[in-house]
Amino acid sequence: MNQAIKETRFQFPGQIDFYKGKVRDVYIFEKELVVVASDRISAFDVVLPRAIPFKGQVLNQIAAKFLASTADIVPNWVASTPDPNVTIGKRCEPFKVEMVIRGYLSGHAAREYKAGKRLICGVPMPEGMRENDPFPTPIITPTTKASEGHDEDISREDILRKGIVSEEDYVVLEKYTRALFQRGQEMAAEKGLILVDTKYEFGKQDGKIYLIDEIHTPDSSRYFYADGYEENQQKGLPQRQLSKEFVRQWLIENGFQGKEGQQVPEMTDEIVDSISDRYIELFEKITGEKFQKANTNHIEERIEKAILNYLSEN
């Protein structure tokens, strides 16, 4: 069985801090971040007990592709991807909002709509919409970036009133968000997909705004298959999604939704392999490229060596 990377605990020259996220290990330097995309997988805000071979590589390489192909729209934080699981770039001061943009009435917006609400994050939603219908124009529904607990919806007005982001900067974030989403939708359409909704995070270094974090990955975005979309809408059927929803479905079928007292079902080698295969399938569908599996023998040593080589040359 292929090795998977559960966690890293490196110590690099010049490193001043370390942060372990749900799925990423972040090494902090004065002006740079070294981000290792581990193979950990989370669902229902719980990190599952087994890592998934190639999952980190899949997400890291999808993000790298989309960041490179949107660099003409907005400068981003990436300086180098010296290893399939590693991205190194600028250490920015993040804005404390996530810019969520929705092209369709799906997910959280659809649940709010079903509950009778016609306003989300201060943005009106038209009457007479069905779940998964397109909005007349995409809507921006920001959330607060919580250091603990869940992110929460917030309106543009509240962001400005509370001084979370200055109006001057927020206008730029909105402009970038719309342009990025349009490019993402165009790239998805070329692959027979619909980019339904996604989120972007931005930060500042030396007074300049950069796009940070991953973009357009199946962990941060919702995709539908374009083929069959209209027919499913007309018949009131669910849309075929390209996301990690299949992991959540497997957990639900086995009695786990992250609630107190529930046990994560046993993740057999077969289950782990099947999840790994699905992530590779996601990569190939979203990018239109054949996935090249990195060598997983001595995976930690491979990653550490790539980072040390980069640091010694820069």
Instruction: Tell me what the mean pLDDT of segment 288-292 comes to.
Output: 96
Beta bridge partners of 101: 140, 198
Count of alpha carbons within 13 Å of 301, Cβ hemisphere only?
4
Question: Which positions ≥6 away from 292 have C-beta within 8 Å?
Answer: none
Indicate if the pLDDT at residue 161 is higher than 70: yes
Residue-wise pLDDT for 8-42, tens only, equals 999 999 999 999 988 999 999 999 999 999 999 98
DSSP 257: S
Indicate if the pLDDT at residue 125 is higher than 80: yes
* CA–CA gap between residue 165 and residue 96 (Å, rounded): 8
The percentage of the chain sitting over the pLDDT mark of 70, rounded to a whole number, equals: 98
pLDDT of 146: 63
Instruction: Tell me what the mean pLDDT of segment 101-127 comes to.
Output: 95
**In degrees rounded to 5, what are phi and psi of residue 64?**
-60, -40
* CA–CA gap between residue 128 and residue 118 (Å, rounded): 10
Question: Which positions ≥6 away from 53 have C-beta within 8 Å?
Answer: 1, 2, 3, 4, 39, 272, 273, 276, 296
Residue-wise pLDDT for 192-231, tens only, equals 999 999 999 999 999 999 999 999 998 889 999 999 999 9
Beta strands in the chain (DSSP E): 17-20, 24-28, 32-37, 42-43, 46-47, 78-83, 86-90, 93-94, 97-104, 119-120, 123-124, 134-140, 143-144, 193-205, 208-212, 221-225, 241-242
pLDDT of 1: 67
DSSP 214: -
pLDDT of 223: 94
pLDDT of 103: 98
Whether the Cβ atoms of residue 200 and residue 101 lie closer than 8 Å to each other: yes
pLDDT of 158: 95
Give the SS3 label for residue 144.
strand
Residue-wise pLDDT for 236-278, tens only, equals 999 998 888 789 889 989 999 888 889 999 999 999 999 999 9
CA–chain centroid gap for 179, Å, is 18
All structural domains of the chain, each given as residue ranges with its CATH number in brackets, are 17-93+245-313 (3.30.200.20), 94-242 (3.30.470.20)
